[in-house]
Chains A and B, each alone.
Chain A
Amino acid sequence: KAGVTQTPRYLIKTRGQQVTLSCSPISGHRSVSWYQQTPGQGLQFLFEYFSETQRNKGNFPGRFSGRQFSNSRSEMNVSTLELGDSALYLCASSLTPMGNNEQFFGPGTRLTVL
Chain B
Amino acid sequence: QQQVKQSPQSLIVQKGGIPIINCAYENTAFDYFPWYQQFPGKGPALLIAIRPDVSEKKEGRFTISFNKSAKQFSLHIMDSQPGDSATYFCAARGRNQGGKLIFGQGTELSVKP
Residues of A within 8 A of B (CB): 4, 31-33, 35, 42-45, 48, 50, 55-56, 58, 90, 92, 94, 97-98, 100, 102-108
- Distance, CA A107 to CA B39, complexed state (A): 10
Chain A min CB distance to B3 (Å):
11
A-B contacts besides A32-B99, A105-B45, 5 pairs, CB < 8 Å: A42-B103, A43-B106, A55-B98, A56-B97, A92-B101
- Distance, CA A4 to CA B46, complexed state (A): 13
In the complex, the answer to whether B99 meets A92 with C-beta atoms within 8 Å is yes
In the complex, the answer to whether B98 meets A102 with C-beta atoms within 8 Å is no
The 8 closest A-B pairs by CB, nearest first: A97-B98, A33-B99, A105-B43, A43-B103, A48-B99, A100-B32, A105-B44, A107-B43
Chain B min CB distance to A57 (Å):
9
B41 partner residues in chain A, CB cutoff 8 A:
107
Q: Assuming the A-B contacts A42-B106, A100-B51, A102-B34, are A56 and B100 also in contact, with contact meaning beta carbons closer than 8 angstroms in the complex?
A: yes
Question: Residue on B with the closest CB to A105?
Answer: B43
Kindly state whether residue B89 has any CB partner on chain A within 8 Å. Answer: yes
Kindly state whether residue B105 has any CB partner on chain A within 8 Å. Answer: yes
Kindly state whether residue B42 has any CB partner on chain A within 8 Å. Answer: yes
- Distance, CA A50 to CA B105, complexed state (A): 27
Chain A min CB distance to B101 (Å):
6
B62 partner residues in chain A, CB cutoff 8 A:
none
- Distance, CA A58 to CA B100, complexed state (A): 8
Question: Residue on B with the closest CB to A98?
Answer: B98
In the complex, the answer to whether A103 meets B43 with C-beta atoms within 8 Å is no
- Distance, CA A13 to CA B98, complexed state (A): 32
Chain B min CB distance to A50 (Å):
7
When each residue 7-35 of chain B gets 1 if its CB lies under 8 Å from chain A and 0 otherwise, what string results?
00000000000000000000000011010
Kindly state whether residue B49 has any CB partner on chain A within 8 Å. Answer: yes
Q: List 11 A-B contacts (CB under 8 A).
A: A42-B89, A43-B44, A43-B103, A44-B103, A45-B100, A90-B44, A97-B98, A102-B49, A103-B34, A105-B43, A107-B43
In the complex, the answer to whether A103 meets B106 with C-beta atoms within 8 Å is no
Question: Residue on A with the closest CB to B45?
Answer: A105
